Amino acid sequence: MTGRMSLSRRRFLKSGLVVAGYGLWGIHSGRAGADGKKDRPNILWLTSEDNSIFWVSCYDGTNCQTPNIDKLAEEGFRYIHCFDNAAVCAPTRSTWITGMYAISNGTQPMRSRNDIPHDVIKYYPDLLRKAGYHTSNWIKTDYNIGGRPDRDCWDVMDRKIRFGWRKRKPGQPFFAVVNSTSSHESRAHGDVENTRNDPDKMTLHAYHPDLPVIRKNYAKYADAVENMDNDIRQTLDALKEDGLFEDTIIIYCSDHGGVMPRSKRFLYSSGTHCPLVVRIPEKYKHLWPAEKPGMTVDRIVSFVDMPKTWLSLAGARIPDTFQGTVFLGEGIEPEPKYHLSFRERADERCDCVRMIRDKQFAYYKNYMPYAPAGQYLEYLWRAPATPAWEKYHKEGKTDEITGRFFRPRVSEEFYDTVKDFDNVHNLIDDPKHRKRIARMKRAMREKQLELYDSGLLPESMRERRARQHNTTIYEMVRNPKLYPLESYLDAADRALERNANNLSAFIKGMSDSDSGIRYWAVVGLHLLKDKAEPSVEVLKNTLRDDSDEVKIMAAWTLVNLGRKEIGLECLSHLLNEGTTAERKLLNVLDWMGVDAVPLVREYLQSNPNKAKNILAKIAQDHGIEVPK
């Protein structure tokens, strides 16, 4: 059997010379743009779903072959430091369509569809259309934004019309998105037998135990990626048939990483480090990011950079709301030092993580470290590898690396992603990296302030506050009276320190007029565990707080401090009478483990129709019989 691998910088640099992508070849002038010149390039954006560089053979992925992407890289330029901002589809596509980090406008929770001020925030296809481009999309939107139909910004979006450029006016330049669904996570679900690829030849991530079903699931997904690569070929063939291949800039990337458990939805390298290949015809060689095709480009590219870059290539107007950096062409901008990613709720599961990285090192801040990364998520558990891994862990067979996914987390993580692509060796306490970590923490805070990071309040709390003030989250977080971000960042950092010296500050914070400050104070008490004993009376009083998010955390903390009766009574009341923070409550009941079993059993006896998702998993894990 093939052993594990750690993708290293040497491996995905070896097949091409490297250039910085800025400065070495200069910045060219004379771009044709919205002035009506006919030599503007067509742009074809090929996207695939759910695969990181781990699955692409020109990035030295060994589990499958992607000859069509590889050939595109030979004829074009392969970026080796391209990273998604969100690690899951809807927040990623919200970032793409607006050119804004989703955390900056409140659209980061999966399928939340919060409103944004559409008169302020423009979609990049609208701007391309104004610049004279024909725009088409086959067939993925999922923009996660309310107030406007997703299809509204495209000239052509029809499942029956795969190659939308064929509907443009004669001579009109086009921008076309063609999205392959063949590598979507769903392709890893179901039966894993009889795969084309050999399970015994699969290379596993270091965090996965070497189990037959996991190898088979890898092989099934490798088949899916090869199908996706064939989709790429079909689209390129159509472009060639139409005589447009040498008039078109072709971009290929995935929409985030994946897809085996602990990749998609998670900010580790396997979830965020994505392929990006750009082919630029000879006639537009003044736009090349390196001296000649086949070379690699050693420049950080964030997904948020892409829509701004497409507008620049087309000569379209770029509004000030776009937060990325132009990484290609005549409008190229200086390379950023860092990339920022974010994780919040995915489907039914709450979480909050921020990650900042450079080309080698990645720093993570876990704002909900009391929850394991590997929380049960119904869709994720449809891949046979996931329940098999969980079962193996529950049987006590995992080790420090393969079992960490299912345990509560530390507050901070730090990885050398070149030596440790799988991010399994946390160096946060290594004194050798102390100064670097401090710099990256400062850079993360500066970026959060710059972007008005909306994630420093629980999702239900920030949505409720925006409604109460009749405003969007985008507008609310830009009003310091409604969203004092610096204070929230300070309060969160204090909570995550888990330092008993902060006890008095937490107790004082529990009486603050701002529910956000009270929330972070109770999180701080929770993370102190038994050292929070002097706060018991304050926590009891907090069970009458007007914020359910604060009450839930206070009740859980009391349970952990041995005051189970009063804590469970509060949680039972919220469960039976209703709460404005239902997702948070259900997640906490699961995180509580055996302490929540009597409460859940009693509830499901009276409400068997509620035995779904998280509650169903609690019942399954703890042998709770649910009446039919």
DSSP assignment letter at 346: B
Structure tokens at 606: 């009276």
Rg (CA), the chain: 25
Pair 87, 264: CB distance under 8 Å: yes
Distance between CA 74 and CA 287 in Å, rounded?
17
In this prediction, residue 489 has a pLDDT band, given cuts at 50, 70 and 90, of very high
Confidence at residue 586, expressed as pLDDT on a 0 to 100 scale: 98
Mean of pLDDT values over 507-513: 98
Mean of pLDDT values over 467-472: 98
Amino acid in the structure at residue 551: K
Alpha helix segments (H runs only) across 57-123 = 67-75, 89-98
Distance between CA 566 and CA 555 in Å, rounded?
8
Q: State yes or no: pLDDT of 20 exceeds 70.
A: no
Q: Which of 485, 444, 477, 445 is nearest to 340 (CA)?
A: 444
Q: State yes or no: pLDDT of 470 exceeds 50.
A: yes
In this prediction, residue 240 has a pLDDT band, given cuts at 50, 70 and 90, of very high
Confidence at residue 38, expressed as pLDDT on a 0 to 100 scale: 56
Q: State yes or no: pLDDT of 29 exceeds 60.
A: no
Q: State yes or no: pLDDT of 63 exceeds 90.
A: yes
Q: State yes or no: pLDDT of 503 exceeds 80.
A: yes
For the segment 81-129, what is each residue's pLDDT rounded down to a tens digit?
A: 999 999 999 999 999 999 999 999 999 999 999 999 999 999 999 999 9
For the segment 521-562, what is each residue's pLDDT rounded down to a tens digit?
A: 999 999 999 999 999 999 999 999 999 999 999 999 999 999
For the segment 268-277, what is each residue's pLDDT rounded down to a tens digit?
A: 999 999 999 9
Strands 412-416, 353-357: pairing is unpaired
Q: State yes or no: pLDDT of 287 exceeds 60.
A: yes
Confidence at residue 4, expressed as pLDDT on a 0 to 100 scale: 41
Beta bridge mates, 253: 47, 276
Distance between CA 494 and CA 502 in Å, rounded?
7
For the segment 311-341, what is each residue's pLDDT rounded down to a tens digit?
A: 999 999 999 999 999 999 999 999 999 999 9
Mean of pLDDT values over 610-615: 96
Lowest-confidence pick of 34-48, 204-218, 344-358: 34-48
Percent of the chain residues topping a pLDDT of 70 = 94
DSSP string, 244-290: -GGGEEEEEEESS---STTSTTS-SHHHHB--EEEE--GGGGGG-SS
Q: State yes or no: pLDDT of 19 exceeds 70.
A: no
More confidently predicted of 262 and 15: 262
Domains and CATH numbers, the chain: 37-334 (3.40.720.10), 452-591 (no CATH)
Distance between CA 128 and CA 209 in Å, rounded?
47
For the segment 132-191, what is each residue's pLDDT rounded down to a tens digit?
A: 999 999 999 999 999 999 999 999 999 999 999 999 999 999 999 999 999 999 999 999
Q: What pTM value is reported for the model?
A: 0.94
In this prediction, residue 288 has a pLDDT band, given cuts at 50, 70 and 90, of very high
Mean of pLDDT values over 381-406: 98
Pair 376, 338: CB distance under 8 Å: no
For the segment 408-421, what is each residue's pLDDT rounded down to a tens digit?
A: 999 999 999 999 99
